[in-house]
Amino acid sequence: MNLRFGDRASLDDLGTFVARAKYLDAGGAARLSGHGSVLAVYVCPLHGGGGPDVLGLRTVALAQEWHGDVVVDLAALTDRFARRTGDAELALPPAEAPAAWAGVAPPRRGWTPAGELDPDLLRSAARDGVTEVAAGVPDVAGAPAVARLRAGVWSRPLPGTDVPAGAAFAADGLGFLGPEPVAVLATGPWHRLTTPRGHVLTRRPLLG
């Protein structure tokens, strides 16, 4: 299956997003959901371990409509970007990947404004969280202990909000933060951080 994009720049931009997602979650997956002429690409830099599931979302225009929904390995997808030709077309990996978080679908409509966040606050929260996790991991630690530590750090709400610090980690690591304030939107149990570069989504019951 090949996806055709409006221009090469859009595809290059998506490739950068996927590469960032793989850096944050080397063994992770991406969900590609086609809505006609719009492709929604979801990744999940933080998931499992009792902490919040934090989704990153980029949308890209397609030159040819596609209505589909697949989950693929980030490693396989980055390999496809590396081997593509110079046109604005991408061949999807043939095999789907298991990802428990991909079954949780954020709402597409009904979002209402819930304030703004300073991008520097998010950068600081991401940096402080990474430092705390790195400092708290002993020289010899099993995966469950590391997962519990990460869950505790990234579940803490950002100051004055119900949004977990993990949202800052995702927004910074996926390259979504710029100079402008970050819009916060809400619907039901969900929060969404939105910038011109992408969206981060969290669901309140998962925040611990």
Tokens representing 125?
């929260």
Per-residue model confidence (pLDDT) at position 158: 93
> What is the residue extent of each domain of the chain?
2-103, 112-207
* Long-range residue pairs from 129-138, CB within 8 A, at least 24 positions apart, any chain: 129/153, 129/154, 129/165, 129/166, 129/168, 129/169, 130/169
Distance from C-alpha of 193 to C-alpha of 171, rounded to nearest angstrom: 8
In this prediction, residue 87 carries a pLDDT of 81
Q: Which two tokens stand for residue 172?
A: 């910074």
At residue 140, the pLDDT reads 52
Strands 89-91 and 112-117, sheet pairing: unpaired
Angle between helices 165-173 and 119-136 (to 10 degrees): 100
User: Would you give the distance in Å from CA 129 to the centre of its chain?
Assistant: 17
pLDDT tens, the chain, 208 aa long: 889 998 889 999 999 999 999 999 999 999 999 999 999 999 999 987 788 889 999 999 999 999 999 999 999 999 998 887 668 899 999 888 889 898 888 888 899 999 999 999 999 999 999 999 888 876 655 677 778 888 889 999 998 898 999 999 999 999 999 999 999 999 988 999 999 999 999 986 443 4
CATH of 2-103 given 3.40.50.2000, 2.170.190.11, 3.10.150.10, 3.10.20.30: 3.10.150.10
Q: What is the pLDDT of residue 75?
A: 95
Query: In sequence order, which residues have a C-beta less than 8 Å from that of residue 191 and are 6 or more positions away?
Result: 114, 161, 162, 163, 167, 184, 185, 201, 202, 203, 204
Give every CB contact of residue 9 below 8 A, 6+ residues apart in sequence. none
Question: How far, in Å, CA of 80 to CA of 78, rounded?
Answer: 5
* Residue pair 155/165 in contact by the 8 Å Cβ criterion: yes
Which pLDDT does position 39 carry in this prediction? 95
- The angle at the Cα of 111, spanning 181 to 72, to the nearest 5 degrees, equals 90
The pLDDT assigned to 208 comes to: 40
